[in-house]
């Protein structure tokens, strides 16, 4: 079996294949290797790299081609399954072990997915034991993600866009378009998923459950792209391609686009009408179209419900207090919070002692309804509307309100306890990182950079010597970047692990009750990002003294790419940490 060049599915390292089970000498992962793999080394390595780059659909196409040409084998079927669930294997810089994370959560358990079940049938006993163990772990993570997603309040609109330009590493102009659209829609009472705003407080947590929940619940997706390449960027495509699949199952879902040139849209959008960004009022027009669409969907639902009802009684007169309350409740359940506030205001003018009106206004202000208020973390005794609701309530309503208040206080207490716990964990993590072999490697690199920098600054160097030293410096700086990325990702993993343990210790089944955040974790993250930024500033020369030499000239675009590792990129989680250079950094850990 000539498979010496086959790469590991976890870290990408070259496998030394001696049997049908090949253990990677770099990360310790066990890989299945079939006879089919020996014939398709190039294609499999390409697909593996695509999966590590989160190009899951492209990787699936390669696996499907291999499967169509051969008798199915367990290894190919399992690799295809990993793509379906967006599995990325991320290294822990402390233990050097690789663990799975999911970027494509599905409602269907991986344990029930057809390609996994087919792979099981083709395994021998030893392979089956390994496969079941790994799939069970993935299923555990998936279950936790689904629990988080299940308790997320539903969204109306999902804004899909490119945050950072790959070439310049600067924030794209699309962010400003999205901000404007987000503001218009939220002011109109709609709940909008806009990653920059929605995820900004999600410190040290995996974003996927929240993205999955928003994709699943949103009736509208707005894709904004001022450049054609933004539409096909990895994360952007990951979001809109998943939404298109959801549209196939839900006819009420719709997708809207805004771009500079509709002719440059991906083929999947070719039959869709797009809003031109060249129009000064592009976002106002797009927002109006979205609002009109959502209003039509709501109207259709209301009519269907009315026609299907067996009740002969008519809705209360909307001019009466009972009718106003009914309308406010309906708007609250539809998450039209602005309308709720308007309904309540009208009601309180004619009935200022209506307890339910104050209760509904309080719910609208905290953007919850009567079902999910039990997930709120807030002391309602400080809320003016809550106190008025209690003051005018009947005994039955008072008991209901106080029960909700106690639950919210319990949530708040748990959050405070968890935050205090995470502060302690952050301090322990800080000590562990600064005493780790990984961080010691960082110190070694800095010492090497000091020496290289002195040589580089020397006036005695030739142009060729300067170019070579400059290249060495840039390689060392990139190595530093990877160390910091690894540490930041480990911080995220540590936060999620502590969160899971805390929930288990406190018998918390509803994960939405806690926010995985800590001031000290945030401070440590900021400290590490700033430390990395200062090292880049210190060691990367602003200009080379060799640029006029044709033989040694380094292309400007290469230098731009090297300088492009910004603090903003370092803050993004999750990060791609599977490159081979990490092996060298971590092999002595």
Give all domains of the chain, ordered by start, each with its CATH number. Answer: 21-150 (no CATH), 157-308 (3.40.50.10140), 321-393 (1.25.40), 410-586 (no CATH)
Give which of 337, 335, 407 is closest to 377, Cα–Cα: 407
Confidence at residue 272, expressed as pLDDT on a 0 to 100 scale: 67
More confident residue, 572 or 432: 432
Asked if residues 191 and 290 have their Cβ atoms less than 8 Å apart, the reply is no
Above 70 in pLDDT, residue 542? Answer: no
* CA distances from residue 282 to 18, 225, 265, 279 in whole angstroms, order as listed: 60, 12, 17, 5
Cβ distance 264 to 225 under 8 Å?
Answer: no
CA distance 162 to 245: 20
**pLDDT reported for residue 204:** 58
Name the band, by pLDDT with cuts 50, 70 and 90, for residue 521.
confident
Q: Which residue has the higher pLDDT, 492 or 301?
A: 492
Residue 406 has pLDDT above 60, yes or no: yes
| 572 vs 72, higher pLDDT | 72
Q: In whole angstroms, what is the distance from residue 506 CA to residue 341 CA?
A: 37
Could you tell me which residue, 91 or 129, shows the higher pLDDT? 129
Q: pLDDT at position 304, please?
A: 52
Q: How far apart are CA 274 and CA 231, in angstroms?
A: 13
Tokens at 265, concatenated: 């849209």
- What residues have CB less than 8 Å from 513, skipping those under 6 apart? 375, 377, 411, 414, 415
Of residues 4 and 110, which shows the higher confidence score?
Answer: 110
Q: How far apart are CA 367 and CA 373, in angstroms?
A: 9
Would you mind telling me the total number of residues written for the chain in this entry?
A: 589
Peptide bond preceding 574 in cis form (omega within 30 of 0): yes
pLDDT for the residue numbered 94:
63
Mean pLDDT, range 179-193, rounded to an integer: 92
Q: Which two tokens stand for residue 89?
A: 């294997």
Token pair, residue 498, equals 């502590």
Q: How far apart, in whole angstroms, are the C-alpha atoms of residue 201 and residue 277?
A: 30
Looking at the predicted structure, is the pLDDT value of residue 43 above 80? yes
Read off the pTM: 0.51
C-alpha gyration radius of the chain: 28
Question: How sure is the predictor about 405, in pLDDT bands with cuts at 50, 70 and 90?
Answer: very high
Residue 518 is predicted with a pLDDT of: 82
Q: Is the pLDDT of residue 540 over 50?
A: yes
Which pLDDT band holds residue 546 (cuts at 50, 70, 90)? very low
Per-residue model confidence (pLDDT) at position 399: 92
**The pLDDT of residue 352 is above 60:** yes
Residue 273's Cα: distance from chain center in Å? 28
Q: What gap in Å lies between CA 114 and CA 190, rounded to an integer?
A: 38
Q: Is the dihedral of CA 168, 169, 174, 177 positive or negative?
A: negative
Return the pLDDT at 267: 73
Binned at pLDDT 50, 70 and 90, residue 149 comes out as: confident
Query: Is 106 a residue whose pLDDT tops 80?
Result: yes
Q: How confident is the model over 412-440, as a mean pLDDT? A: 87
The mean pLDDT value for 291-305 works out to: 69
* Local structure of 157: helix, strand or coil: strand
Average of per-residue pLDDT across 179-207: 86
Partnered with residue 193 across adjacent β-strands are: 158
More confident residue, 274 or 136: 136
d(CA 410, CA 404): 10
How far is 68 from 317, CA to CA, in rounded Å? 64
- pLDDT, residue 558, reads 41
Residue predicted with more confidence, 560 or 271: 271
Are the beta carbons of 48 and 17 closer than 8 angstroms?
no
Residue 13 has pLDDT above 80, yes or no: yes
The torsion angle over the Cα atoms of residues 492, 495, 501 and 506, rounded to 10 degrees, is: -140
Position 583 scores a pLDDT of: 41
Between 571 and 355, name the one with better pLDDT: 355
| pLDDT above 90 (res 167) | no
C-alpha span between 230 and 128 (Å, rounded): 41
Paired residues of 258 in beta bridges: 224, 275
Q: Is 98 exposed, middle or buried (CB count within 10 Å of its CB: 0-12, 13-18, 19+)?
A: buried
Q: What is the mean pLDDT of the chain?
A: 80
Beta bridge partners of 157: 192, 220
Q: For 382-408, what is the mean pLDDT?
A: 92
Instruction: Identify the pLDDT of residue 256.
Output: 92
User: What percentage of the chain has pLDDT greater than the value 70?
Assistant: 83
> Angle at the Cα of 545 (from 543 to 549), degrees rounded to 5?
120
Strand residue runs (E) in 190-238: 192-193, 220-225
d(CA 368, CA 335): 8
Tell me the C-alpha distance between 244 and 221, whole Å.
Answer: 9
Tell whether the model's pLDDT for residue 559 goes beyond 80. no
Of the chain, the percentage scoring pLDDT greater than 90 comes to: 23
Q: What is the pLDDT of residue 565?
A: 42
Q: Give the confidence band of 465 by pLDDT, cuts at 50, 70, 90.
A: low
- Among 122-126, 156-160, 303-307, 438-442, the range with the most confident prediction by mean pLDDT is 156-160
């Amino acid at each position: 079996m000539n498979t010496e060049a086959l790469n590991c599915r976890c870290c990408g390292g070259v496998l030394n294949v001696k049997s049908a089970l090949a253990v990677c000498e770099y990360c310790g992962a066990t890989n299945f290797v079939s006879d089919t793999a020996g014939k398709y080394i190039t294609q499999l390595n390409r697909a593996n790299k695509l999966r590590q780059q989160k190009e899951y659909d492209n990787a699936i196409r390669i696996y499907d081609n291999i499967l169509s040409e051969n008798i199915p084998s367990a290894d190919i079927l399992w690799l295809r399954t990993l793509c379906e669930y967006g599995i990325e294997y991320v290294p822990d810089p402390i233990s050097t072990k690789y663990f799975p994370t999911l970027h494509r959560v599905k409602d269907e358990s991986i344990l029930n997915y057809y390609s996994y079940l087919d792979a099981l049938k083709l395994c021998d006993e030893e392979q089956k034991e390994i496969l079941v163990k790994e799939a069970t772990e993935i299923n555990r993570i998936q279950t936790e993600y689904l629990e988080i997603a299940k308790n997320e309040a539903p969204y109306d609109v999902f804004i899909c866009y490119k945050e950072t330009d790959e070439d310049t590493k600067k924030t794209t102009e699309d962010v400003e378009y999205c901000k404007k659209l987000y503001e218009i829609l939220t002011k109109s009472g709609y709940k909008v998923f806009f990653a920059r705003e929605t995820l900004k407080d999600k410190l040290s947590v995996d974003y996927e459950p929240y993205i999955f929940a928003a994709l699943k619940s949103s009736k509208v997706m707005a894709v904004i792209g001022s450049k054609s390449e933004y539409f096909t960027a990895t994360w952007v495509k990951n979001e809109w391609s998943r939404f298109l699949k959801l549209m196939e199952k839900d006819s009420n879902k719709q997708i809207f686009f805004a771009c500079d040139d509709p002719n440059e849209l991906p083929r999947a959008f070719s039959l869709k009408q797009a809003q031109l960004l060249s129009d000064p009022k592009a976002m106002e027009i797009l927002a109006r179209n979205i609002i009109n669409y959502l209003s039509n969907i709501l109207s259709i639902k209301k009519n269907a419900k009315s026609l299907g009802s067996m009740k002969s009684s008519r809705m209360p007169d909307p001019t009466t207090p009972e009718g106003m309350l009914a309308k406010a409740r309906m708007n609250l359940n539809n998450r039209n919070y602005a309308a709720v506030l308007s309904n309540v205001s009208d009601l309180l003018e004619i009935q200022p002692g209506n307890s339910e009106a104050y209760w509904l206004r309080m719910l609208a202000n905290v953007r919850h309804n009567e079902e999910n208020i039990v997930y709120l973390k807030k002391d309602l005794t400080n809320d003016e509307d809550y106190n008025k609701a209690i003051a005018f309530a009947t005994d039955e309503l008072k008991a209901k309100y106080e029960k909700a208040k106690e639950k919210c206080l319990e949530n708040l207490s748990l959050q405070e306890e968890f935050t205090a716990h995470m502060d302690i964990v952050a301090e322990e993590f800080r000590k562990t990182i600064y005493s780790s072999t990984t961080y010691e490697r960082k110190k070694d690199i800095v010492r090497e950079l000091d020496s290289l920098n002195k040589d580089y600054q020397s006036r005695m160097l030739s142009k060729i010597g300067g170019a070579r030293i400059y290249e060495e410096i840039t390689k060392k700086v990139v190595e530093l970047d990877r160390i910091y990325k690894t540490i930041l990702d480990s911080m995220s993993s540590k936060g999620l692990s502590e969160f899971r343990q805390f929930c288990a210790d406190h018998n918390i089944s509803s994960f939405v009750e806690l926010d995985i955040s800590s001031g000290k974790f945030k401070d440590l993250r900021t400290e590490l990002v700033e430390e990395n930024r200062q090292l880049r500033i210190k060691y990367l020369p602003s200009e080379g003294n060799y640029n006029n030499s044709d033989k040694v000239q380094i292309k400007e675009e290469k230098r731009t790419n090297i300088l492009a590792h910004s603090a903003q990129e370092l803050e993004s989680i999750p990060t791609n940490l599977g490159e081979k250079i990490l092996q060298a950094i971590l092999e002595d850990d």
